[in-house]
Amino acid sequence: MAKRTALYDAHVALGGRMVEFAGYELPVQYSGIMEEHRAVRTAAGVFDVSHMGEFLFEGSGAESALGALLTNDIRGMSDGRVRYSLLPNERGGAVDDVLVYRVNAEKFLMVVNGANVEKDAAHVVRTLRGCEFSDVSDRVSQLAVQGPASEAVMKALAPDAPLPQKYYTFLTDVELAGIKTLVSRTGYTGEDGFEIYCANEDVPALYAALLEKGAPLGLIPCGLGARDTLRSEAGMPLYGHELGEDIPVNEVGLDFAVKTEGREFVGRDAIAAHVPEYERVGAVVVGRGIVRENCVIYADGAEVGRSTTGTHSPTLGCGIAMLRIKRGTEGDLTADVRGRMLPLKRAELPFVKRK
């Protein structure tokens, strides 16, 4: 039985088409994926991402204890900074990919994928030494306001509230519509935007206020469908697609978040010893057609890997895909789409850059 977020009734009342995702009933779309996607690229959209999990790491040893679980180096972060990291397993694969928020030297918040909350918590309990850990996922709701008009939407909602100014920073105790929140300047769409954390009981009022104040600025409610097309255009990995327990973390194009020099952490030696065999690359479909995930990819007729994400790009008007293919692959790429061979052309990630 899927869980419901605190906004379930609001989604149904707004005409959201509900599907099960990450153990929750969430809207895949309201007005339509294309319209929602365009709203986020040109104005703003709001997403219920309350399925995401939130972990707290607290105590005097929090920085080093949490740091020993992460591929990225969190030493020396300033308070109010956010950092992306992988949560590696002992074999050098990824248990998850996460955002780490440094509240202060003795308190860190880690945001994890909804589908992985239980697995991640078990992994943390098994490997963490030297600080307190708590899983507050079931108490915390999260909204994402994304798009070029996001700042204007936030100002319309709370003209006097301070907002995080730089990308990947956050503020605690921000009062929005009379509700206490944590606000970060982060997102999963490739646009400017904010992610807002609050207590479950407060989120319906906050969501309603956002829709009301945001509507004149072009903000509409958006579902998981647009979230996926937006992150795909932005070239952002999705756990279970580009990342997984058996995909080495140094084969996924996230080297900026994998720091093996001068540190010890879970899986460090396995990562350092692994010579990358595969790489993550972007490709667009030449002509018509859509490559979905898990299509076999060929280079000059020889099998070189698979697609890990594939969809129609509403912005570009063509098929886009992320591929996991052998490093150093040359030649013309094609994808086997249910027996039809579609020609691909390599493309730089992200497919769509912020204006």
Q: Helix (H, G, I), strand (E, B), or coil: what is residue 241? A: coil
What is the sign of the dihedral through the CA atoms of 116, 248, 71 and 311?
Answer: negative
CB of 21 to another protein, least distance (A): 12
CB of 35 to another protein, least distance (A): 8
Q: Find the binding residues for another protein in span 99-158 (CB under 8 A).
A: none
Please choose, from the candidates 242, 144, 256, 257, the residue with its C-alpha nearest in 3D space to the C-alpha of residue 191: 144
Q: Helix (H, G, I), strand (E, B), or coil: what is residue 246? A: coil
**Shorter beta-carbon distance to another protein: residue 29 or 72:** 29
Q: Which of 29, 72, 137, 169 binds another protein (CB under 8 A)?
A: 29
Q: Which of 225, 235, 237, 267 binds another protein (CB under 8 A)?
A: 225
**Shorter beta-carbon distance to another protein: residue 292 or 326:** 292
For residue 114, the Cα-to-chain-centroid distance in whole angstroms is: 10
**Shorter beta-carbon distance to another protein: residue 140 or 236:** 236
Strand pairing partners for 54? 111
Phi, psi for 257 (deg, rounded to 5) = -110, 10
Q: Which of 180, 340, 345, 354 binds another protein (CB under 8 A)?
A: 340
Q: By CB under 8 A, is residue 347 in contact with another protein?
A: no
Q: By CB under 8 A, is residue 284 in contact with another protein?
A: no
CB of 307 to another protein, least distance (A): 14
Q: By CB under 8 A, is residue 33 in contact with another protein?
A: yes
CB-based contacts of 330-335 (< 8 A; 24+ apart in sequence): 330/299, 330/300, 331/299, 331/300, 331/302, 332/299, 332/300, 333/283, 333/297, 333/298, 333/299, 333/304, 334/297, 334/298, 335/283, 335/285, 335/291, 335/295, 335/296, 335/297, 335/298, 335/307, 335/310
CA distance 131 to 76: 18
DSSP state of 276: P
CB of 33 to another protein, least distance (A): 4
Q: By CB under 8 A, is residue 288 in contact with another protein?
A: yes
Q: Which residues contact 244 (CB under 8 A, 6 or more apart)?
A: 93, 94
Q: Which of 116, 150, 181, 229 binds another protein (CB under 8 A)?
A: 229
Binding segment toward another protein, per CB under 8 A, in 56-64, 189-197, 249-257, 309-317 = 309-317
CB of 232 to another protein, least distance (A): 10
User: How many residues in the shown chain lie near another protein by CB under 8 A?
Assistant: 18
Q: By CB under 8 A, is residue 235 in contact with another protein?
A: no
Which residues bind to another protein, rule: CB under 8 A? 28-29, 32-34, 225, 228-229, 288-290, 292, 311-312, 314, 319, 338, 340
